Amino acid sequence: MQNQAKNLINKLGLDPRLLGMIGALVVIWIVFGVFTDGRFLSPRNFFNVSVQTASVAVMATGMVFVIVTRHIDLSVGSMLGFIGMATAALQVQFLPDVVGLGHWSIWIIAVIFAITMGAVLGAFQGYIIGYLTVPAFIVTLGGFLVYRGAMWWVTKGQTQAPLDPTFRLLGGGAEGTLGETMSWIFGIVAALAAVGFMLLSRRNKASHGFSVKPAWAEGTLMAIAAGGILLFVSIMNSYPIPKGAMKRMTAAQGIEYTDGMVWNHGVAIPVVILLAVAIVMTIIARRTRFGRYIYATGGNPEAAELSGINTRFLTVKIFALMGALTGIASIIASARLNAVDVGLGTLDELRVIAAAVIGGTALSGGAGTIYGAVIGALIMQSLQSGMASVGVDAPLQNIVVGVVLVFAVWVDIVYRRRTGA
C-alpha cells in the first residue's frame, strides 16, 4: 500500500513536502472544527483567515529570496509599521490639504508612496549588507529598532485615522471584496489560467526533450487545481454580508434596502493582491535570470561570484524587493484596521520568517518555494485563529507557534538528510 502511494505521488510529480504541508493544514482545520462545533470551518472564519493571512504571506514570498541567499531580515515588522504610519499620516494630515479632502487620487498616491518607501529602505539595507559587508542579522536588527522608533517619531505616537475610503477597500471587509459575480469571473479566469499554464509547461518540456507526466496524471492535477480555486470562490460567496454593512452599501449605491435582501462577500481584495504577488514572485523565481541568480548564489555564493554574478548588487535588489513587498503588506494591514497605531506590525518579522521556514525554505540557503511560504503563512494564521477560537491565551499561542516552528525546521532537516536535498 505504501509503495503504491509512493508510485502515485511520483507519477503525479508532487513534492512530498507540499503534500505534508497541505496534510498538516487540513488536520489543523479538522481539529479546530471539532473543538469549535464547526464554527472554525464556517465561510465566515475562512474569509477572516484568508484576509488575516494576506499581509504576512506577501512578505513571506520576499523572505524566501532573502533566506535562500543565506541572509535574514529581522526588520520587516517594524518597517511595516513605519511605512504604515507614514502612509497614514500622508492621508490624514498632508494630502487633504494639498489635493482636497476625499480626492480620488489620495489612495493612488498613498499606495505608490508605501511601495516606493519600502523599496528605498530595503535597498539601503541591502547596500550596507552587500557593499559594506555588514552581516544581515546586524543590519536588520538595527533596522528593527530604528523603524520602530521612527514610527513613533512620525506622529509622536498618535494614532492616525480614519484612512481614505477607497484605500480602506484594499484591506478587505464587507466593501473590500470582488462581490459574488466578479468573484465567479475571477475564479473561472484563475482556473483557466492555471490549466493553461500547466499545459504550456507540459508543451515546453516536451519540445525540449524532457520527460513529462502521463496524460492522466496531468489531467488529475489540472482538475485538482481548477477545482480548488472554484471551491474557494464558492466558500467565499457563501458568506453573507451583515445587515448593517448591507444598509451602508445599498445607501451608497442608491439601492433601497429590504429585510429580505441577501448579499455575499465574495473573494476579498487582499487575497487577490496576494495571488497576484505570488504569481509574479513565482515567475521571477522560475523564469527569470534574476531568480536563477538568487538560487545559484544561495547554493554556492563563492561559485556564483566566480561565475560572474554580481552578488553585491544582487543583495541590494533582493532587499529592495523585500522592502517593496513590505510596503504592499503595510497597505493591506493598515487598510484592514482603518487606523495605524504604534503597535502595527509587532512580531510580524517572526511570523514572516516562520512562514517561510515552515513552507520549506532552507536556512542553509539555496532552496525554497513561493507556494510553500504562502501555505506556511496560512498554517501559522490557522493555528493562531484556531487557538483564539477555543479560548487559548495569547502567551500560550506564542508558545505553540514557537514549538511548531522548531518542529518544522527539525522535520525539514531530517527530510533533506534522507533525500540528499
State pLDDT tens for residues 290-313: 999 999 999 888 888 888 899 999
Tell me whether residue 226 is in a domain: no
Is the pLDDT reported for residue 261 higher than 60? yes
* pLDDT value, residue 11: 56
Tell me whether residue 179 is in a domain: no
Tell me whether residue 315 is in a domain: yes
Residue 386 near residue 90 (C-beta atoms within 8 A): no
Tell me whether residue 293 is in a domain: yes
Tell me whether residue 134 is in a domain: yes
State pLDDT tens for residues 171-185: 988 889 998 999 999
| Most confident region among 27-41, 136-150, 213-227 by mean pLDDT | 136-150
| Strand-pair partners of 264 | 240
* pLDDT value, residue 403: 85
> Which pLDDT band holds residue 376 (cuts at 50, 70, 90)?
very high
* pLDDT value, residue 155: 87
| Strand-pair partners of 160 | 340
State pLDDT tens for residues 196-210: 888 888 788 777 777
Minimum mean pLDDT among 125-139, 240-254, 326-340: which range? 240-254
Tell me whether residue 297 is in a domain: yes
Domain that holds residue 298: 49-173+268-343
Tell me whether residue 397 is in a domain: no
Count other C-beta atoms under 10 Å from residue 224's C-beta.
13
Q: Which of 64, 17, 4, 130 is nearest to 284 (CA)?
A: 64
Is the pLDDT reported for residue 235 higher than 90? yes
State pLDDT tens for residues 83-121: 999 999 999 999 998 888 888 999 999 999 999 999 999
Instruction: Write the CB contacts of 386 (distance below 8 Å, at least 6 apart in sequence).
Output: 28, 29, 31, 32, 35, 36, 40
Instruction: Write the CB contacts of 267 (distance below 8 Å, at least 6 apart in sequence).
Output: 177, 178, 183, 186, 187, 232, 233, 236
Q: What is the mean pLDDT of residues 1-28?
A: 70
Tell me whether residue 249 is in a domain: no
* pLDDT value, residue 100: 85
Q: What is the mean pLDDT of residues 13-19?
A: 71
Surface-to-core class of residue 14, CB atoms within 10 Å of its CB (0-12 exposed, 13-18 middle, 19+ buried): middle
Of all residues in the chain, the percent with pLDDT exceeding 90 is 54
| CA distances, 320 to each of 56, 125, 369 (Å) | 17, 8, 19
Q: Which of 375, 341, 327, 332 is nearest to 64 (CA)?
A: 375
State pLDDT tens for residues 64-78: 999 999 999 999 999
Is the pLDDT reported for residue 315 higher than 80? yes
Q: What is the mean pLDDT of residues 377-391?
A: 90
State pLDDT tens for residues 38-64: 899 999 999 999 999 999 999 999 999
Number of domains composing the chain: 1
Residue 187 near residue 232 (C-beta atoms within 8 A): yes
State pLDDT tens for residues 121-174: 999 999 999 999 999 999 999 999 999 999 999 888 899 988 999 999 999 888
And the C-alpha cell for 300? Answer: 554556492
